[in-house]
Chains A and B, each alone.
Chain A
Amino acid sequence: MASTIKIALAGNPNSGKTTIFNAITGARQHVANYAGVTVERKEGYFKKNGADVVVVDLPGTYSLTAYSVEEKVARDFLLDERPDVVVNVVDASNLERNLYLTVQLMELGLPVVIALNMTDVAKSRGVEIDIPRLSALLGIPIVATVGTKSQGVESLVETALAVATGSLVSKPAPIRYGREIEEEIAKILDSFDPAAPLLPQYPSRWLAVKLLEEDSDVVEKLKTLPGADAVLRKAAASIAHLRGVTGDTPEIVLADRRYGFISGACQESVASTVEMRHIMSDKIDVLMTHRVLGIPILLVLMYGVFYAAFYAASAPGEWIGSLLGWLGFQISAILGPGAHGTLTLRSLIVDGVIGGVGSVIVFLPNVMVLFLAIAVLEDSGYMARAAFVMDHLMHKMGLHGKSFIPMIIGFGCSVPAIMSTRIIENRLGRLTTMMVIPLMSCGARLPIYALLIPAFFAPQYRAAALWFIYVFGVLLAIAIARLLRGTVLKGESHPLVMELPPYRFPTVKGLLIHTWERSWLYVKKAGTIILAASVLLWFAANWPAPPADRLAAAASPEEAHTVVLANSLVGRVGRAIEPVIAPLGFDWRAGTALIGATAAKEVFVAQMGIVFGVGESADTLEELRGKMRANYSQASGIAMLLFALIASPCVATVAITRKESGSWKWALLQWGGLTAVGYMMALVAYQVASRL
């Protein structure tokens, strides 16, 4: 057969779903967004028995209510796109809790296959699962897997495809809620008009159950339909009746009955010996979540991450720098040296492209190490601990611990960080977090720091200066969050409820995929936005050409370069804004670089390379640093660091904030507010430092 088979992958957070997804699809993945919402949608592809198979990785959720954006996205996908089969990844060492989602998948009436994952962990904890028995009780095929070792994955894929093509049957057992509730379900079903179904894409029994649960999403959808009044009235009567009979709200009773069904199935199929009271994870947590040591440990780990990103990766960066310098020489040799101020092909390639894009690509190793370190923090399970130890402090700022996770991801890039704020259920808390995420020094700001810090600080102070700028960003973020929560984003905060996954050794494959995905975006950005900005800025830095006599009067190539630049568009704009930025210790050249940085933060470095004309040096960076030292004081350097950290978030950040917050208001407030704060900070820093 030649049709496309669609598999949806569902499961709890921390069930090993991503590992299974990577094992099934390998590197043939594609990241997109769900229509209308920016929740990452990951798809993977493979071919099997002549059929094209697409695997959609749904967000990790505990249930399919409308509690969070992620749950709603998962549910809408299952209802609207009706995948051919749902592979439900279930953590075998945490069976009952994981089966709660399974039961809800079963209720949706979709063919389900269970990937009973982490069977090795379950076994080591004394949990013996009678798989054929459990499979029979649920009416669902079950395949045992160990995702981290790719065990059982082959068989899982075969089973899923067999179900999708109909050669194997998955007929989920019906869930019965007990006489009282079943009677009310029947009454609601009776009120449906079979000739004109209200929401035809939804199974009617599921719809009736959701009405009893007063599911906000379903109720909203029904309200807009003509003829739904009778149904809603019926549901309200049933809810009132059940409240009276059970003394509880129906959704709680329904949850109870689902768990009842699960316990029943587990009692018949699972033999469990003692619960291990002190698993390895707890022992590590004694230290990691220590009342006093927790935060210092977090700070040391963060210091380690930035130290590695800065130093461990500096050698390969130098190699790339040397290679680019050599390339510049060769191109100059082939195309012939051109006079400054002429818009030659040589100048475009050497000064524009190599000077611009090259200065950014030089930092690729640093950025890759940074992304790798963040991936280790995520995959090992430490991220949730960081949220835990920060919760109390964050709470005082009107946020909760979970807000700290997007903030750490923000050290990589603000765009995924702002997207990941969807783990925060409360809208006010989510908006506040979004507003301050640009203050987390992202990977694109690392090149700026890596250029400026060695230029203006003695070797023994460099690590401390880098650490300070990162920590200062965090502290400022917290202070601004506090301010926002007390003013424009006033309101109650949600409590912290978060699972702490057991610590795991990250798999090499998982780390490589994470690091690669994000690094590739960095390279792509260098090849697109930064290339375009570099060429534009190169042109603006060389056009219009100065009068020939002024250029001829220049005594040295450096002087000629200055003449060209001063007469160019860049020079003119720079001088126009100079009165505004002079109190910050910036001249017109730094000013244009800082404006360029709005397109993408790395452009600052690229533009500095262009205005100082360092494209054809064997050691581009050292030369650029030398020129900066010669042109700016240390006080100016500090002001540049602060301005780059705080002011003018890049356009991608503004765009994603607009999308995630749903309005331009927040995006513009973010951009304007941070630019104002950045200006003030740089002003104070320069004025103080230059007087010391």
Chain B
Amino acid sequence: MTPLGKDIEVGAKRIGDYTNALPLSAAKEDVELRLVGTRCGRGLCLHLAAMGLRPGALIRVVRTHGPGPLIVAMGNTRMALGRGIAHHLFVVPIEDHRDS
């Protein structure tokens, strides 16, 4: 699991609110997650938002492919995300989120 580095800028404020945020790439399969922040270039961030991947979205990892891409469920949508981008999306498991 990668600890949150100092280089998080975009959405940093929101991620900072969660002590238990972890990168999506480290999330387990079949656990309900809330996306709390993204760290990416402007164009990509907006593109992800247009596809529904924005802070607040409820997602779940359907399948991870070892070092390869993963499949994420968001409502009835299934999305394939490369490993690289999954390191830059930050999530909190829903149960933990309720506690905090």
Contacts and interface: CB of A to CB of B under 8 A. Distances in A.
Interface of A: 62-63, 65, 67, 93-94, 96-97, 100-101, 125, 213-214, 216, 247-249, 251-252, 255-256, 259, 275-276, 279, 281-282, 285, 289, 291, 384, 387-389, 391-392, 395, 400-401, 425, 494-500, 502
A259 B84 CA distance: 26
B4 interface: no
A401 B45 CA distance: 20
Interface string B59-80: 0001101111101011111111
B75 A275 contact: yes
Contacts of A259: 49, 54
A249 B69 contact: no
Given A63-B50, A391-B68, A400-B82, A495 B76 contact: no
Contact of A391 (B47, B51, B80): B80
Q: Interface size bucket, B side? A: 35 or more
17 contacts: A62-B47, A67-B47, A96-B52, A96-B75, A249-B10, A251-B45, A252-B45, A252-B54, A275-B76, A285-B62, A289-B63, A291-B66, A387-B80, A391-B80, A401-B80, A499-B51, A500-B80
Given A291-B66, A392-B65, A401-B69, A255 B49 contact: yes
Nearest to B47: A67
B42 interface: yes
A507 B35 CA distance: 36
B81 A496 contact: yes
Given A65-B43, A388-B80, A256 B54 contact: yes
B13 interface: yes
B46 interface: yes
Given A497-B80, A500-B71, 9 more contacts: A96-B75, A97-B52, A256-B55, A285-B63, A400-B82, A425-B47, A496-B82, A498-B80, A499-B51
Interface of B: 10-11, 13, 42-55, 62-63, 65-69, 71, 73-85
B78 A93 contact: no
Closest 5 CB pairs of A and B: A392-B68, A496-B82, A495-B85, A63-B50, A62-B50
A29 B10 CA distance: 45
A276 to B, nearest CB: 7
Contacts of A499: 51, 77-80
Given A247-B13, A285-B71, A497 B42 contact: no
Contacts of A276: 76
Nearest to B86: A495
A389 B69 CA distance: 8
A65 B46 contact: yes
Contacts of A248: 10-11, 13
Contacts of A400: 82
Contacts of A67: 43, 46-47
A247 B16 CA distance: 12
B69 A496 contact: yes
A496 B73 CA distance: 15
A281 B80 contact: no
Contact of B46 (A247, A255, A498): A255
Contacts of A500: 71, 78-80
Nearest to A294: B65
Contacts of A285: 62-63, 71, 78
Contacts of A494: 44
Contact of A255 (B54, B77, B82): B54
A481 to B, nearest CB: 16
Q: Report which residue of B13, B68, B79, B83 has the largest number of chain A beta carbons within 10 angstroms of its beta carbon.
A: B68
Given A62-B50, A248-B13, A252-B46, A388 B71 contact: yes
Contacts of B76: 93-94, 125, 275-276, 279, 502
A68 to B, nearest CB: 8
A251 B42 contact: yes
A661 B54 CA distance: 33
Nearest to B53: A497
Contacts of A247: 13
B52 A498 contact: no
Nearest to A68: B47
Nearest to A282: B62
A429 B67 CA distance: 20
Contact of A495 (B11, B67, B81): B81
A610 B55 CA distance: 66
Q: Report which residue of B47, B71, B80 has the largest number of chain A beta carbons within 10 angstroms of its beta carbon.
A: B80
Contact of A498 (B43, B66, B74, B79): B79
Contacts of B42: 214, 249, 251
Contacts of B51: 62, 97, 497, 499
Nearest to B63: A289
Contacts of B55: 256
